[in-house]
A and B are shown apart, each in its own frame.
Chain A
């Protein structure tokens, strides 16, 4: 076998803290060969980004490298001086950073940003640099008249392509990509990945791809390493890992990936046959419309966030609202929970034909019936209050329980959402819990009022992959036990299919398609739905390249 292009031996990275140093990366060893796509997978806090940042020596103190060697092209990175490193970055190795959408300078045009790199590293400027910039843009399929654009004039996908173009500017043999597509919508993400694969074939570059999404990597990586708590737990060829993996953590990760294709597994999550839906809807949304007016007297800009949306939800049903960012799905959640008032249309609750949009202030009774679970478990709990406070306040506010009975009720609730023992968790502050535990507390809070409807706005998208399914199962369990109705809002068609009975697809504020989950996935009617289904199924890469 040839000599590896990158070799990392026993790399350890630590952070100085006021107590003992925190070991972020422990004895990580791997090699990457020429022309390979090497994947590094791990959940948040696994140290995957720290590894590459240490490799590039761009990690600022208090982090330091406490041991190990890194060779790139037979050069010892640990021995290199600052000027060595600067000459080496971008020419031999370039990096596409995590928040690539913010990586572009908002006050410089695309041309200036590409010129910057060319000038610094190759001394190119003027006409020569322009020609090169055009070449680069055509590589990533962007029309060169976009050179004059500023970042805010470009879509997320275009910005991402430009960041990749800049990384390619000097044609480095190696590119590191740190979560390059995480902030993008699924369809765009797939297109970008396809472009990256195509470029690799064309230019023969080596790619180190970092992501939390094992599913994604399995599509196109050659080999991958799975990290957990700063260590590599498994390193193997993708083909072998697809078979199930050796380490228990790998198995857990693979098991937690729902798929949008194939047959649906019957499990806890599917609707019990015994459950009959009522004839009249519990929630009916009629011609709902929300227009956001930009602030200021002279500003005539109007944004139509939700446009003429109507749907019904029946008692005991789980309905998923699927859409990409900007589709208006979160606005609908806010309208239904009456955080904001609709511009037009009405929301009927419980078939009573009581228009909830009529009165300005929201009756407590409505709050009790409709509860919400938020996307970000780090933001939805107040860091200065204990779990007890978060769960007790709604009960006290609605006068549901007497003071003495509250504690036992709360402990019961916590245990119901899987936080055992309840007494221990009741005293905790949010920062003492993991993301998954926090989200469970947030669900318990929403459940504490015994609501009939829960609106769950992307309840799992901020959580690590390995615990997402467990959190979704809580909703399924509650539906089964308490006949709870759930409006599940997500961008992920696969998890929508996993949990929901019916799926509503949104685009640009309007409903595109609506059907039972299975029918929608198996026989999508609209082109957009087809794209979505396609992007969420394994094997999308092959079919995508066949089409092109």
Chain B
């Protein structure tokens, strides 16, 4: 027996637990498909920025999603748009969790003066109105994907830090942490090896929540024209569709594929979140279980049911 085997086993047990949940599994499959499409498909298809033919031609055999107002292939745009949208979305999700875990974790673990200062910082960010700040920052800074990522993280990390701080404070006073301190462990090791794995579910669902937020906010900013309109993303697709008066010209094919993709990704992420919730809170599952087994007339009476399943 050595160190790596059991540490792997924590992660793998947790991972297997999540994946054996139907909701989480479905959600993960959808995300995986989108990720594979975003990574590989752009190498094999038409460049999304090429001018191909009649603008606003409806779906046909040649262009299965039709063409947009600039005569570009909507199918190619949808596929290629996934790449940057998902990259920025998940990137922001990861950064938000890392920053949140770092600041919230340190504030919660050390307490005292450190906590006072970091909490003040978190609270300042929490009370700043996120959306207007985001719009202002995005419009004054140069419109690159990096800017967008930075703006999303800047306005989104505080809530996560707050949640992780509270969780850390409850763990800080548990006996197993005291025991680790008394055995001479360093604080950093206690945070990373003893406490963080216990927060795995919280961290994972924070990541997913932050990613949903980041994808939505990013698409929103780009739709307002605050992103780099020369790149192809789901947000700019929608921006151009609205710019080309897609609704007036009734060219639904220019925005439905992108809109549907965004909805599917968010839905899949939400499914994963539900799954994590059920796995880390088994009461949700067990309730469904006993509702099936107890006879109808015994349910919802508020008193202990009496029946004998062995008869």
Contacts and interface: CB of A to CB of B under 8 A. Distances in A.
Contacts of B174: 379
Interface stretch (A233-241, A386-394, A516-524): A386-394
A68 to B, nearest CB: 9
Interface stretch (B67-75, B216-224, B302-310): B302-310
B182 interface: yes
Contact of B6 (A82, A85, A389): A389
Contact of B309 (A17, A21, A58, A371): A21
B294 interface: yes
Contact of B185 (A21, A62, A67, A397): A397
B249 interface: no
B304 A371 contact: no
Interface string A350-391: 000000000000001001101110111001111111101100
B183 A371 contact: yes
B188 interface: no
A398 interface: yes
Interface string A471-490: 00000000000000000000
B286 interface: yes
A384 B175 contact: no
B302 A382 contact: no
Contact of B294 (A64, A368, A397, A442): A64
Given A53-B304, A64-B305, A388-B6, A371 B1 contact: no
A449 B198 CA distance: 26
A65 interface: yes
A384 B174 CA distance: 14
A385 B306 CA distance: 41
B307 A66 contact: yes
A374 B179 CA distance: 8
Given A60-B304, A368-B184, A17 B286 contact: yes
A225 to B, nearest CB: 21
Contact of A64 (B10, B181, B182, B307): B307
Nearest to B171: A382
B175 A376 contact: yes
Contacts of A449: 183
Contacts of A54: 304
Contact of B1 (A16, A67, A388): A388
A16 B179 contact: no
Interface residues of A, number: 52
A368 B305 CA distance: 55
A379 to B, nearest CB: 4
B225 interface: no
B176 A66 contact: no
A445 B175 contact: no
Interface in A36-83: 53-54, 57-67, 78, 82
A318 interface: no
A187 to B, nearest CB: 27
B62 interface: no
A95 interface: no
B176 A67 contact: no
B41 interface: no
Interface string A424-451: 0011000000000000001001000100
A397 B183 contact: yes
A58 B304 CA distance: 6
A63 B178 CA distance: 37
A374 B175 contact: yes
A339 B181 contact: yes
B179 A384 contact: no
Interface in B117-165: none
Given A339-B181, A382-B194, A393-B185, A59 B6 contact: no
A181 interface: no
Nearest to A427: B1
A438 B183 CA distance: 17
A372 B306 contact: no
Contacts of B175: 374-376, 379-380
Contacts of B176: 379-382
A54 B305 CA distance: 9
A431 to B, nearest CB: 12
Contacts of A371: 182-183
B43 interface: no
A307 interface: no
Contacts of A13: 304
A61 B182 contact: no
B8 interface: no
B32 to A, nearest CB: 27
B289 interface: yes
Contact of B290 (A59, A61, A380): A61
A133 B187 CA distance: 54
A77 to B, nearest CB: 9
A402 interface: no
A78 B308 CA distance: 12
A61 B305 contact: yes
Given A339-B178, A367-B182, A393-B185, A18 B306 contact: no
B200 to A, nearest CB: 9
B6 A386 contact: yes
Contacts of A460: none
A62 B289 contact: yes
A69 to B, nearest CB: 10
B304 A62 contact: no
Nearest to B11: A384
B300 to A, nearest CB: 10
A426 B2 CA distance: 12
A66 B310 contact: yes
Contact of A383 (B6, B198, B302, B308): B198
A449 B180 CA distance: 13
B301 interface: yes
Nearest to B185: A397
A384 B10 contact: yes
Nearest to A68: B306
A16 B292 CA distance: 10
A407 interface: yes
A329 to B, nearest CB: 16
Contact of A445 (B183, B294, B302, B307): B183
A337 interface: yes
Contact of B289 (A16, A60, A376, A384): A16
A398 B184 contact: yes
Contacts of B6: 385-386, 388-389
A384 B183 contact: no
B183 A16 contact: no
Contacts of B309: 21, 66
Select the residue from B176, B178, B182, B290 with max chain A CB neighbours within 10 A.
B182
Given A61-B305, A339-B182, 14 more contacts: A16-B294, A53-B304, A57-B303, A67-B308, A368-B184, A370-B182, A374-B179, A376-B175, A383-B198, A385-B6, A385-B10, A388-B6, A394-B184, A397-B185
5 contacts: A64-B294, A82-B303, A379-B176, A383-B198, A388-B6
Interface of A: 13, 16-18, 21, 53-54, 57-67, 78, 82, 85, 337, 339, 364, 367-368, 370-372, 374-376, 379-386, 388-389, 393-394, 397-398, 407, 426-427, 442, 445, 449
For the complex of A and B, list the 6 residue pairs with the smallest distance between their C-beta atoms, beginning with the closest.
A380-B175, A367-B184, A394-B183, A62-B290, A57-B303, A379-B175
